[in-house]
Structure 1
């Protein structure tokens, strides 16, 4: 996806203030990879009981029948995707989680999901403004994803969660957040998808210095990784 197009779609997510608009905007990006459904919810520190998990849904565009069945039958307890989200900081394909923890229960679970048009998908660990861990899943019947695609979806997912939880948050400036000019430069280049080594070449800084700026940015913006950092920067109005 072209960078300018992606940034425009992110703006739609950032400006969304209702569940329908958030789902519509996110799925405009996801549909390019065969992902046609989205479900996002908050997770406690351990696999939740079904009623509690259902009450923690932030937004969803999931097949209704499968959503009800998933919770009613307690599949959350045996879902290898949920177990992996609880210990991961990066997005991954459902099929990778299943391959990493094969079981008859998982086979039955995802066999049933396929009946509802969810042959595969991607799960992305997300974090609310308060730091609570959640999961955002995107699924579809024919999914085509690269690692780069998943990294782009991580940014979109984090922004969608921020929009769901803080649609009225005020924009801030780099100075308000205590960012130095060099840190702001590193943030902008990170949003362009550049690696630390790329940024070092572009700015004339040492790679270690760029890494230090990245750590400082994550601390100041309360971000857990690079994708979350870009999300927080975009949400704060630092990136356009």
Structure 2
């Protein structure tokens, strides 16, 4: 990158760092994307493909509403080739680098239908977060206007935006969610060490039904999809350690 691009990146990151709300972060993010003709974007975690509650991992939905509804109603997440590649690579890539001949029929359908909603080409910046699984920032439009030399700037911006939004989300969760009880923390600590429901019932001297009841309460408190997701959220809140 040239000096002007570096200065622009630093100024943008400074604006994001000083933002106190997700709306302000996204306002800065949108302005930069629009300079490259990118008008639709999604910032989301990437649960396993068959997870029917995948949309709970979304940090920001900037897709056209009609496309999001279509994507969800057709279960496109299960067959999205961009999501699949983002799970396996740490390198940014452009949508058109996914060669149609290499895609399965359902994968081609996802990309073809995206084009019908004005998302003919785009880019993905995979993000791999320790203890939290893969995520991606993806942006698209009817025509990609991103020169190769701008990709490092966009990659850095996407990663920084994701981290800032994640931090704001975690802070809101900590402020608005009841803490775990000592018993719940103890139980989840054992789960984090790989102990099964049966193992924990023996260790704590309670029934498996009691353990399962505690797990349900923990998931409800943390708004978690499953025990693994609850462990990640509890670690972020420093309620348990590994």
- Same fold per TM (> 0.5)? yes
Q: Which runs of 4+ in 1 moved over 4 A?
A: 128-131
Task: Determine the structure 2 residue equivalent to 1:91.
Answer: 92
Q: Post-superposition shift, 1:157? A: 0.9
Quick one: distance in 2 between partners of 1:102 and 1:132?
24
Task: Determine the structure 2 residue equivalent to 1:47.
Answer: 49
CA contact (8 A) 2:100 2:108 kept: no
Gaps of 5+ in 2: 171-242
Select the structure of larger CA radius of gyration.
2
Pairs within 5 Å for 1:45-124: 46-49=48-51, 51-99=52-100, 101-124=102-125
Gaps of 5+ in 1: 170-240
Quick one: distance in 1 between partners of 2:152 and 2:26?
19
Quick one: distance in 2 between partners of 1:129 and 1:16?
24
CA contact (8 A) 1:127 1:134 kept: yes
* CA separation of 1:168 and 1:118: change in aligned 2, threshold 3 A: closer
Question: Would you say how many aligned residue pairs link Structure 1 and Structure 2?
Answer: 167
* CA separation of 1:38 and 1:59: change in aligned 2, threshold 3 A: same
* CA separation of 1:155 and 1:114: change in aligned 2, threshold 3 A: same
CA contact (8 A) 2:90 2:128 kept: no
Quick one: distance in 2 between partners of 1:26 and 1:129?
24
Q: RMSD of the alignment, in Å?
A: 2.3
CA contact (8 A) 1:23 1:60 kept: no
Structure number having the greater helix percentage: 2
Q: 2:156 is paired with a residue of what secondary structure?
A: helix
Give the alignment's TM-score, normalised by structure 1.
0.62
Q: Post-superposition shift, 1:71? A: 1.7
Q: Post-superposition shift, 1:23? A: 2.1
